[in-house]
Structure 1
Amino acid sequence: MTALAVAGLAALSAALFVRQHAGRRHHVASTASTSLAVDLVRRLRGRLTTRRSQYRRRETARDAVAAMAAELSAGHSATRALERAFARDDLAPRSRAAIAWGGDVVEALRADARMPGCGLLLAVSACWSVAHGTGAGLAESLRRAVSADREDDEVRTQLAAHLAAPRATARMLAGLPVLGLILGIAMGGDPLAWLLGTPLGFGCLTCGIGLTLLGLLWTSRIAARVEALL
């Protein structure tokens, strides 16, 4: 996401500079740069929205499973407990449909678990299968699954806090060239004219942005691999 933000800002800055300092012959290039910047920013916002939505759905799924365990403890059947616990949110549509039409609830739970943020339902399907196959208590198994999922979230939070420092360092290093441009302008120079107005300057600008994005992508993938281990 950081790489998309840097690319979007770079493209937008180039477009604004060309619009202000160039003639009509550069209008097409300026329009293309602006379109690229807008597209990158939209993709960035889309990814941020998706991640937040998955986090909220994961919390909602955890609360629903905890509610299902409470319904079971109150004496309701497994099917009734699932229907009541998941009735308020669209978390397990296939499972509720399987109950309504007499389908395979375990397979339906596994299918619902593939929805973003609903991975806990895979544990629910396993608990359901074991409980119906052996007669083991389903409520206690669900409570343990909720507790384990909550502990996993705490570990993810701690890991995100530890990874915040290297990510912030990478973003700071990516922003240093911009500070260099500002310093050059403050000293009376015109680095943007050279970067955007000459083939050599434009080549340096392109290589610089490319290497910056490569570094940000590398850092992001290292962090993502660590997070994927959980």
Structure 2
Amino acid sequence: MTGALLLLGAALAAWPGRRTLRQTRVAGLTGSRNGGAPGRPRSALLPLPLVAGCAGAVLAVVASTPLVAALAGAAASLAARAWERRRAVAAEEARLAGLAEALGALAAELRSGRSLEEATDAAVAVCAEEESGRALARAVRAPVDGGSARGEEEAALRRVSAAVLLSGRTGCSLAAVVGAVEDDVRARRRHRLDLHSALAGPRASAVLLAGLPVLGLLMGSGVGADPWRVLTTTVPGQALLVVGVALEAAGLAWSARLTGRALR
């Protein structure tokens, strides 16, 4: 049973999330379309969930039993994966903020009478996020007509590309459309920030409820019951430990799913 749990924890640690797979496919398609040189392969670096899972398992097997090591490794890998998702969300918010800033600068430069090329260079120069600035430059200088957009940033860039194509064909004003896209991006960012603020309470409650079993273990140890020895050295206790950790993970995953659906 312990060996099976160790293999399951290693598989959970090494299994890539859907966001990671999608980012890998998008990066490959972007590199092939833009004709750029491929970057350093990410496979050469160990994923953070795998490193965290192995480290947690090693520390736990030194301090406790192999069963606790398997559970600790799986928990550490899941925690590292959740941290990576939070970093990805923060990076996306930063890119949206940089894109809104670049769009505002582009619209202001176009209204001042500068050419599209000069206005694009100025917008990229003032953009705090280099990735957003480069994406806007590609959308203006190599516009793509049509296609489906998944993220908010990609949708805004496709609207800019469509506006550039329409302006080139009909001669209509591009500054007004760019300004409208900027207003839309800023409104969406304000809406997402409001949602994050509204969900801060439920998220804190979920984390507090998840920590109550640990508090129960500490209280039991304080009165001399020694619940940790029962959970790690007896067969019924080990079964209860596995079920409890599984229920904890399921509760946290369900809470994250509910808050994630509210943010979409």
- The code of the aligned residue for 1:105 comes to A
SS at match of 2:143: helix
SS at match of 2:187: helix
Aligned-pair CA distance for 1:37: 5.4
Per the alignment, residue 132 of structure 2 pairs with 91
SS at match of 1:126: helix
Cα distance, 1:21–1:175 mapped onto 2, change above 3 Å: closer
Cα distance, 1:172–1:115 mapped onto 2, change above 3 Å: closer
Cα distance, 1:64–1:21 mapped onto 2, change above 3 Å: closer
In 2: Cα distance, 1:204 partner to 1:184 partner: 16
Matches within 5 A, 1:71-82: 71-82=109-120
User: Larger radius of gyration, structure 1 or 2?
Assistant: 1
Cα distance, 1:109–1:94 mapped onto 2, change above 3 Å: farther
SS at match of 2:132: coil
Cα distance, 1:118–1:72 mapped onto 2, change above 3 Å: same
- RMSD, matched Cα: 3.5
Instruction: Say whether the 8 Å CA contact 1:72–1:78 is kept in structure 2.
Output: yes
Runs of 4+ more than 6 Å apart: 108-111, 113-116
- The code of the aligned residue for 1:156 comes to R
Choose from 183, 188, 210 the match for 1:152: 188
- Structure 2: runs of 5 or more not aligned: 1-48
Q: State the TM-score, normalizing by the size of structure 1.
A: 0.74
Per the alignment, residue 107 of structure 1 pairs with 144
Instruction: Say whether the 8 Å CA contact 1:107–1:125 is kept in structure 2.
Output: yes
Q: Which has the higher contact order (CA 8 A, sep 6+)?
A: 1
Q: Does 1:137 align with 2:173?
A: yes
Per the alignment, residue 127 of structure 1 pairs with 163
1:9-52 alpha-carbon deviations (Å, 9 max, x no partner): 9x94x875653456xxx5xx676666555544543443333222
1:58-79 alpha-carbon deviations (Å, 9 max, x no partner): 1111111111111111212223
Cα distance, 1:84–1:110 mapped onto 2, change above 3 Å: farther
Which region of structure 1 is more displaced relative to structure 2, 162-171 or 196-205? 162-171
Cα distance, 1:222–1:94 mapped onto 2, change above 3 Å: closer
In 2: Cα distance, 1:168 partner to 1:219 partner: 11
Choose from 74, 98, 122 the match for 1:60: 98
Instruction: Say whether the 8 Å CA contact 2:107–2:176 is kept in structure 1.
Output: yes
Aligned-pair CA distance for 1:173: 1.4
In 1: Cα distance, 2:139 partner to 2:180 partner: 25
SS at match of 2:144: helix
Percent pairwise identity:
31
Cα distance, 1:95–1:178 mapped onto 2, change above 3 Å: closer
Per the alignment, residue 19 of structure 1 pairs with 62
Per the alignment, residue 210 of structure 2 pairs with 174
Instruction: Say whether the 8 Å CA contact 2:98–2:133 is kept in structure 1.
Output: no
Q: State the TM-score, normalizing by the size of structure 2.
A: 0.66
- Structure 1: runs of 5 or more not aligned: none
Per the alignment, residue 40 of structure 2 pairs with none
Aligned-pair CA distance for 1:55: 1.7
Aligned length: 210
Cα distance, 1:48–1:220 mapped onto 2, change above 3 Å: closer
SS at match of 1:106: coil
Cα distance, 1:150–1:191 mapped onto 2, change above 3 Å: same
Cα distance, 1:216–1:95 mapped onto 2, change above 3 Å: closer
